[in-house]
Structure 1
Amino acid sequence: MTDLITPSAQLKSRKLAEKRFQWYGRGAIFASLAFLVVMVGSILYKGSGAFTTTDVAIVVDLGPEAVDPANPQDARFEKIVKDALKARFPDANKRAERRKLYGLVSNDAGFALERFVLANPDAIGTQAKVWFRASDDLDILLKGTVDRTVDESERRLSDQEIGWIDTLVADGDVKRGFNWSFFTNGDSREPELAGILSALTGSALTLLVCFLFSFPVAIMAAIYLEEFAPKNRFSDIIEVNINNLAAVPSIVFGLLGLSMLLNTFGMPRSSPLVGGLVLSLMTLPTIIIAARASLRAVPPSIREAALGMGASPVQATFHHVAPLALPGIMTGTIVGMAQALGETAPLLMIGMVAFIVDVPQSILEPATALPVQIFLWADAPERAFLEKTSAAIIVLLLFLITMNLLAIVLRRRFEKRF
């Protein structure tokens, strides 16, 4: 005789299964949040040091023999800095020791002294205490990245260099401050001088071109396909292809831009114009799909009421349907722009991976973008570029979070519920 399962036992088993499923979902959420916290925490920990900088004070001789008061710009400023370092640490006698001594300050020290003299002509003829940007090795030592306890042969800084640095710290000739140059300088071969201004400007120009091209084209295409296009095989093929294009890898669009825009039409290589056009091709399907979904969400009664009052189909669409769908359209557009901001592969294919120091002034000048700048710094051999890479990722994440929050705010602010 078979045992019968009572209804209460079945109910109890079903409730236990539901609770297990709920805990599976909670566990998945907790695991995702844990991975996110570890990833973001690691980036913040590694990149926080890039937002601070180290400066070293050196007393330089700006007497008449070193700087001509009539023509101060003709002075050998780099030699003045080196002479000041030798006077500060006379125990550096050998050539190799002097080379290490000169490496305490950035290679930009000569230009920094020139800027100081031209900005302070009263200092000519005196011995002035000038603050110079410290080298990346000195900077990472003071940040605790270098382990002093390991053998001298296993670290970049020798015991003698560490002794010089400790002397400067003890004499109060070393100071730390916020690294404003990270936001005001372009790229550089020297980690302590490298900044993201040129990459930020290139990203802004590229996104501007992307928005000006993709937004009107995508909105007009979405309105036509959703409101006016006849429902036949041809429109079905277009809709399927738009959905397929949204899933195409981004590097394919980069290859398209390389073959068509650069090789066929001869557009300027590495320019925001080409980069923006390539990214607009990539974001078009995303914006079209989002815009069509927003138009479809408007109740049919709105269209019917407008048409019943004598409005033409165009008037009903642009005067009543499109304004109600605008919050969703703007949300989809911002999400598409955020996607374009984080793309790297298409820009690599069209040459925006070049080493760009100067800030681009137009969409036709060579430029790079922030994701590409991160890619370049991540491949650099200097250890200090690891901080720069993480700091640039932090800035990029902040922009992406801001754009997504803006999309949420716009949707909630202007969305109308029916």
Structure 2
Amino acid sequence: MSYERRVLIRHSIASIIALGLTGLSRFIYNIVIARKFGVEELGRANSLLSQAFFIAIPLSFFAIALGKYSSEFLGRGDTDAIRSITLPSFLLPLAGFFLLPFNVYLGLIAVFRGIQLTLRSFLYGIHRGEHYAYLIAASFLAFLEGFAFSNVFAPYLLFLGMVSMFAFVYLGRTGFVGRPKSEHIRLLISYSLFAFLGTLSGVFLIQGPYFLSEYLGSPELAGSVAAILSTAFLLTYLPQVLQSAIMPLFSYKHGRGEPGYVKSLAEKTTAFLILVTGVIVFAMMLVGRGILSFLFKFEIGPAFYLALMAIEVYIVYNPSLVALNSTAYVRRGTLLSLAGAVVSGILWVLLIPSVGEIGVMLGLIGGYLVILGGTAVSSSRLLGIRPRIYLPLFSLLLLQSFAFLSKYALLAGLVIFLIMEKETVKEGMDLLKSFRGRGS
């Protein structure tokens, strides 16, 4: 079995575990808090959590660069360079302790989250994603124990706190801490200046709806948005698994001068995601609202359909955007993410006060479509990724809009979609077979 396949398989298995538990944590948290404390308290808790997660991005300023250069240095066999960039990357999140006098929970969760993001990027960068999976599995048990306390933030304090404690123990025991060298720090800073803006923009698109719906609406609106989006964002599980697996390979192959591999993998992954995500969204549209209304103990409205469609757009452009950010075009990827965040922010300010949940979802769709368009053009010009791979998405969104008519119309849309995508079904099966552990 080739080294690339071993890495891809290890990272995929690790990501299935780690990202699955991480994604489920917010969903489970929202269900328990909603049923235990009510929708308004759910909204307030999610508002603070989202602010902490947003602040964690500048605290993990070097995380993306750490993962990228760790992978590139590993490909060159330069472990001393990896040690040089590790310590400053993990010390930076501790600056969040200055927030403690203002809000203890905000400060602690922001610091712990910053360390978690840095550790995740580092472990995948050095091709040890399975270690991260073991850690998340153990920490998830602490997260569940947190519900035994009356404090609404206890689950995340235990979850992220355990991850943070492990991070420094791991670095000490594995010997990945060395004296920083100026040339390596310059690399970190240079890459991070743009990668940070892109990451911040992406996180704003994910976390912004939670706290903006409280500021521009009410805690009750924020609670409803939290229930809808925590469910819709479960869809990002699959692309995050693939992203964590393929991003180090994009950087690794870029370091070895093999651009054709990047193009092929991005195109195949996109086609696969359109098919799989499309089918899952149809199923969630058919039965999701009733199930969620029961779980959260309040009515989930048709904004749920728009949320699913918005996340679908995000999922489809993700492989090509990751390819841009993982190679030599991080600035282009950053500008695209920033443009999408600006568009969404403007739409939220205009729409949330007047149409509430619908405004939140329309803002997401608007921002994601801007990024999709820019990604299609940029990845075509710079990496040779064909824009036509996105065409099935627009047919899919049209067919899924039948959900606003009736469930029978939606079922008809599903049948039409499967007929249209019969060739992609075959290609998707071939892609899965290619991930098997066979020699190359």
Q: Which is bigger in relative contact order (C-alpha 8 A, separation at least 6)?
A: 2
Q: TM-score, normalization: structure 1?
A: 0.24
Structure with the largest fraction of helix: 2
Rg (Cα) greater in structure: 1
